[in-house]
Structure 1
Amino acid sequence: MHPSFMPPRQVKIGDAAAFAGSTPRAIRHYHEIGLLPEPERGGDDRRRYGYEDMIRLLWIRKMADAGIALGDIRDAFTTGTAPDGADSEDGITGTLKRLEENLAEQEAEVRRQRTAVRRMRAEGSRMGLLSDFVTQRLTGLPEGSLRQADLDTLLVTERMLGPLGAAFQATRFIALATHPALRAESDRIDGAEAALDDSVAVDDPRVAHVAAERHAFENTLMAVIEETGLDKDDDALLDAWDTLHPATADDEADLGSCRREAGSMSLAEANSKMPYDFSPARQRCVELYFELLAQDSLTT
């Protein structure tokens, strides 16, 4: 072979990095973590890389590009076996299995994110970020009939009670969105409750009056829901949820769970963490409203 075409016996770190498609900084990191043995240095005290070094660099690059962690690559090279006792000839069978499982989980997460983005684009609002179950319950409502405050409430409910609980609550907003008179009355009572600020005493007559108004309104709202058949839709909703999420023994034991998704909080825990800026008077109004509800249950 002509001397000008003789390959070098060793190369400097920059040439090694260029050939392997890496960087000198990455190669130095490989040395630091024990992934690539420190090579001999030349008379100028610079590292020199030979054929075997380059082979290892190329394999490292291929494995890293495949998503294998550097620590797993190091273990495969240094022990000859992959973590978890895999004994394949290349020492990475166990690592590849875990990688495939991780990629499958990532693919599922990407699909979930893409579904949410599609819903958001289709709905033109943040409604698409709620769960499928809630979004589907709200499908078909007139454009603009849902308020941002409605979506905010559903978001909080979904966190506290899960998608099923939020889907049931969506029935309320469907009724309000399709009955302007109900919406107006709801706004009026919301305003009356908001007016029970820190300047109002707990025993002020307005507190009990607003609680009674809230109680009467909720009864009217429930009557409208029943008259329009929305309660039958809720029954179908529950059947659909049961099909998708069969109840477990834990669900039966936790009657307030609404069969929450994994990772969601219990209702008691959520109530202790979600802040509401209620004055003592407004809090008393809420208590009086629930007392009225309890009286209803005793008379029916």
Structure 2
Amino acid sequence: MHLSSIPRHVRIGDAATFVGTTPRAIRHYHEIGLLPEPERGGDGNRLYGYDDVIRLLWIRRTAEAGIALDDIAVAFSDAGPADGTGEQQVGDVLDRLERSLVEQQEELRRQQAAVQRMRAQGSRVGLLSDVVADRLAHLPAGSLRTADLDSLLVTERLLGAGVAAVQASRFITLTTDPDLREESDRIEAAEEALDDTVAVDDPRVAQVAAERYAFEARLQTVVEESGLGREDEALLDSWIAQREADGADTDPGRRRVGMREALTMVPYDFSPARLRCMELSLELAAQETPAG
């Protein structure tokens, strides 16, 4: 090629091909003021010179680094105010980009950890929050019932991962104590029998409520004696501290109304008699809760 044949200007399609973008993207750069629109030739087509192509290369490279188009003009401004605010603007842009990249890395780490948990502990456990899945890590894969995992998922959604992790101690204990599990199954069957054919004032309602309350008290005693209770307190304190650092609502008092909240927010298909049984059980528990 003779040097005399080198074009002084190229059309938008050729410029886009060289830079590695599209004509549509270049037109968008013009629309938002990121790239001055070049003069048009006699045929009405835009003609891009060396400086235009260099500008496009920088835009493309900067966008690939993750900087938003709105920030690119600031980040690579040829001149800024004499008071130095231009450099400050560039620094602000890069600070935002770095924070975004850190967040993306953390999200990728979380996703990778979830995939690893799904392989090691089962797909449902792996999809729970880190703090809950870690709490269940020492249990054999597949040992938790689907209903237990469903309950943890609901608790996570309503009250947060920290409260769900504490609830996990309940299911850990039931999974490792056959006698407690058998008693739990018996009471659940009795609750399920309180269907729409049973009146809310049927004596069985109060009887099952008392049995549920007594069982939960016994279960909590076993949790405490096993050492899981102390671990729960430390875990919950740590979770609340982290949430406070992140500026999130962490009212621990919500733990006491978790069931009521769940019953009003999740469409459980419970009969009036079964709902009344739950209310009576909660009332028994409230009578045992120290004031203040």
Instruction: Please classify the TM superposition score into its range, dividing by the shorter chain length.
Output: 0.7 to 0.9
Contact kept in structure 2, 1:257 and 1:267, CA below 8 Å: no
Aligned alpha-carbon RMSD (Å): 3.4
Moved more, 2-11 or 239-248: 239-248
> Out of 191, 194, 197, which is 1:193 matched to?
191
Q: Are 1:167 and 2:152 counterparts?
A: no
Contact kept in structure 2, 1:40 and 1:48, CA below 8 Å: yes
1:78 to partner: Cα distance = 7.1
Normalised to the residue count of structure 1, the TM-score between the two structures is: 0.80
Partner of 2:61: 62
1:137 to partner: Cα distance = 2.6
Instruction: Work out the CA distance in 1 between the residues paired with 2:283 and 2:127.
Output: 35
Q: Are 1:287 and 2:279 counterparts?
A: yes
- Structure 1 residue identity aligned to 2:112: R
Contact kept in structure 1, 2:121 and 2:141, CA below 8 Å: no
Partner of 1:263: none
Partner of 1:17: 16
Deviations 1:24-69 (A, max 9, x none): 1211221222222222221221111112211211111111111111
Partner of 1:234: 229
Instruction: Work out the CA distance in 1 between the residues paired with 2:233 and 2:288.
Output: 25
Instruction: Work out the CA distance in 2 between the residues paired with 1:44 and 1:32.
Output: 21
Normalised to the residue count of structure 2, the TM-score between the two structures is: 0.82
- Structure 1 residue identity aligned to 2:276: R
Q: Secondary structure at the match of 1:92?
A: helix
Instruction: Work out the CA distance in 2 between the residues paired with 1:189 and 1:54.
Output: 75
**Uncovered stretches (5+) of structure 1, i.e. residues with no partner:** 259-265
CA gap 1:153/1:53 in 2 versus in 1, 3 angstroms: same
Deviations 1:148-187 (A, max 9, x none): 1101111222333333322222222122112223223322
> Out of 152, 155, 158, which is 1:154 matched to?
152
1:243 to partner: Cα distance = 5.5
Aligned 1:1-300 pairs, distance under 5 A: 3=2, 6-75=5-74, 80-81=79-80, 86-88=85-87, 92-226=90-224, 229-230=225-226, 232-242=227-237, 246=241, 254-257=251-254, 272-296=264-288
CA gap 1:93/1:133 in 2 versus in 1, 3 angstroms: closer
- Give the paired residue count: 284
1:8 to partner: Cα distance = 0.8
Moved more, 54-63 or 233-242: 233-242
1:286 to partner: Cα distance = 1.0
Deviations 1:249-296 (A, max 9, x none): 999x944156xxxxxxx9987664333332221111111112333455
Instruction: Work out the CA distance in 2 between the residues paired with 1:69 and 1:205.
Output: 67
% identical aligned pairs = 59
Instruction: Work out the CA distance in 2 between the residues paired with 1:216 and 1:269.
Output: 22
1:213 to partner: Cα distance = 2.5
CA gap 1:81/1:124 in 2 versus in 1, 3 angstroms: farther
Moved more, 176-185 or 2-11: 2-11
Q: Secondary structure at the match of 2:206?
A: helix
Q: Secondary structure at the match of 1:34?
A: coil
CA gap 1:234/1:5 in 2 versus in 1, 3 angstroms: farther
Partner of 1:261: none
- Structure 2 residue identity aligned to 1:139: A
Contact kept in structure 2, 1:145 and 1:178, CA below 8 Å: no
Moved more, 47-56 or 162-171: 162-171
